[in-house]
Amino acid sequence: MSISDNLLAVRRSLPTGVRLVAVSKFHPVGELMEAYDAGQRIFGESHVQELQGKVAAMPADVEWHFIGHLQTNKVKYLAPYVSMIHAVDSMKLLREIDRQAVKNDRIIDVLLELHIAEEETKYGFSPDDCRRLLAEGEWRELRHVRICGLMMMATYTDDTAQIRNEMEQAQSLFHELKSAYFADDDAFCECSWGMSHDYQIAVETGATLVRIGTTIFGERVY
C-alpha cells in the first residue's frame, strides 16, 4: 500500500475528535509530501535539526508538532513556528519555552509528558511530580506557554492489558488535573497517547491526539 492509502486507512479508523499526528521522523521530504498531498497537515518530528530542514522544504501550512525529548538549548530553533511541544518534562524546559515564546511574540502550546511506563529510560513526570508542578503554581506566571494537556508513551509490550492500564492511569490523571486546575480553561483538552502498535487502545482511553509513524510511512531506516 502507498503512503496515501495507509494514511487514509488510519484516518478512517479514527473517530471524530481524535487528531492524527503523522510521525515523519527519519522519512524524507518526498514521503511527507505524499501525505501532505493526501490531506495531512499535522506532522510530528523528534529531532530539531532534521525538523529545521523539513520546515524549509515543506509548505507553510503544515502544523509541526515536536514529539521528542527537547533540550532547553534547542528551544530557540523551534520557537518561531512550532505548533505544539508534546514532551515537556521539567519546569526548566517550560520556563525556557516561555522565554523564547516571548521573544517571538507568540504563545506556544505544550503538553506535560507523563512517565507511567515501566521502562527506566523514558523521560517525563511521574503522576506525583506532575501534581506537584501544578500545585506549586509557578506555571501560572508563564503567560506565553499554554498547557494543553498530557502526553505519554505506554510500555512497549504485547501485553494489551498493561498498555490499557497505563493509558487509563494517564486518562484519570488528565481528568483530575482538569478539574483541579483547568476547569475553566478550554485549551486544556488534549491527551496525546497511542502509536502505531497501540493507538486503537489509545482511542478507547481518551486520546485526542495519536502519534502514528510506521503504519503510515513504513519502517524507519536509521
Ligand X SMILES: *Cc1c(COP(=O)(O)O)cnc(C)c1O
Query: Rounded CA gap, 208 and 222, in Å?
Result: 29
For ligand X, which stretch binds (CB under 6 A), given 33-41, 118-126, 142-150, 205-213? 205-213
Residue 193 CB, nearest approach to ligand X (Å)? 9
Select the residue interacting with ligand X from 20, 40, 68, 201 (CB under 6 A): 68
For ligand X, which stretch binds (CB under 6 A), given 30-38, 104-112, 119-127, 209-217? 209-217
| CB 89 within 8 Å of CB 68 | no
Question: Diameter of the chain by CA atoms?
Answer: 50
Q: Is 212 in the site for ligand X (CB under 6 A)?
A: yes
Residue with cell 503522576: 127
Select the residue interacting with ligand X from 165, 196, 200, 204 (CB under 6 A): 196
Residue 86 CB, nearest approach to ligand X (Å)? 7
What does the block give as the cell for 172? 484519570
Residues 65, 71, 77, CA angle at the centre, nearest 5°?
60
Q: Is 97 in the site for ligand X (CB under 6 A)?
A: no
What does the block give as the cell for 117? 511506563
What does the block give as the cell for 139? 506555571
Binding site for ligand X (CB under 6 A): 23, 25, 46, 67-68, 153, 195-196, 211-214
